[in-house]
């Protein structure tokens, strides 16, 4: 009976919950220990989860039940703009990214792009402070089917695709590349990493 109760449960059950389903006079604790011994070394084992009990796949067989799932998520506007600046202006420092965007770059934005392996830290600039630079990775190029950053579409192609404003870009393309915005509407220094993505 204990075996059936645990097998059918969608969540781990405490000793009290198991006892509540058994006839009066049963000893669920003894039954649990007996089942634990009986299932030891098998594909499914009886495991203690905190103060509760549940059947679980043996730890060394977990790989059999893993399934790779691809989750499609769109980068936020801030992350997309930062990535585009790095791709088109690399190697570029954080200060240069902020100058082009016109707003401060949240540390989490760069961290997330690095974690995605689309951006990596490049060489330090031989200028005061020796700031690090950022460049795109081979993973970025592979994802977008590019042999090198030189294969990125030009401004005219981006405008033709409706991805840029039609007005001509200014010096260094900060105004033409990204529309003007209120800095208050952009990312804050405490923005969590999850907010770097937009929900579908």
- Choose among 95, 62, 32, 73: nearest CA to 199: 73
Q: Give the whole-angstrom CA distance, residue 83 versus residue 77.
A: 10
Q: Give the whole-angstrom CA distance, residue 145 versus residue 151.
A: 9
Q: Is 101 exposed, middle or buried (0-12, 13-18, 19+ CB in 10 A)?
A: buried
pLDDT computed for residue 11 by the predictor: 86
DSSP one-letter code for 164: S
Single pTM value for the model = 0.48
pLDDT computed for residue 139 by the predictor: 80
Phi, psi (rounded to 5 degrees) for 122: -100, -155
Look-up: residue for tokens 């902020």? 98
pLDDT computed for residue 196 by the predictor: 44
pLDDT tens per residue, the chain (200 residues)? 999 999 999 888 999 999 999 999 899 999 999 999 999 999 999 988 777 888 988 878 878 877 766 666 677 888 888 888 888 888 999 999 999 888 888 878 888 899 888 899 999 888 888 999 999 888 888 777 676 778 788 767 766 766 555 444 444 444 444 444 444 444 443 344 444 444 44
């Amino acid at each position: 009976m204990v075996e059936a109760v645990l097998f059918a449960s969608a969540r781990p059950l405490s000793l009290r919950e198991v006892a509540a389903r058994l006839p009066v006079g049963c000893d669920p604790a003894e039954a649990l220990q007996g089942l634990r011994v009986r299932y030891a070394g098998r594909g499914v084992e009886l495991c203690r989860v905190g103060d509760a009990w549940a059947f679980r796949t043996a730890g060394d067989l977990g790989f059999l039940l893993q399934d790779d799932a691809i989750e499609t998520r769109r980068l936020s506007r801030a992350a997309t703009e930062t990535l585009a600046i790095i791709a088109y202006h690399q190697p570029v420092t954080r200060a240069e990214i902020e100058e082009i965007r016109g707003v401060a770059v949240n540390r989490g934005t760069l961290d997330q792009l690095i974690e995605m392996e689309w951006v990596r830290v490049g060489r330090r600039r031989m200028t005061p402070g020796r700031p690090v630079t950022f460049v795109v990775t081979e993973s970025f190029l592979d994802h977008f089917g590019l042999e090198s950053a030189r294969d990125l579409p030009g401004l005219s192609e981006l405008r033709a695709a409706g991805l840029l404003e039609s007005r001509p870009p200014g010096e260094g393309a900060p105004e033409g590349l990204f529309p003007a915005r209120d800095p208050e509407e952009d990312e804050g220094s405490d923005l969590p990493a999850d907010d770097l993505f937009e929900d579908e």
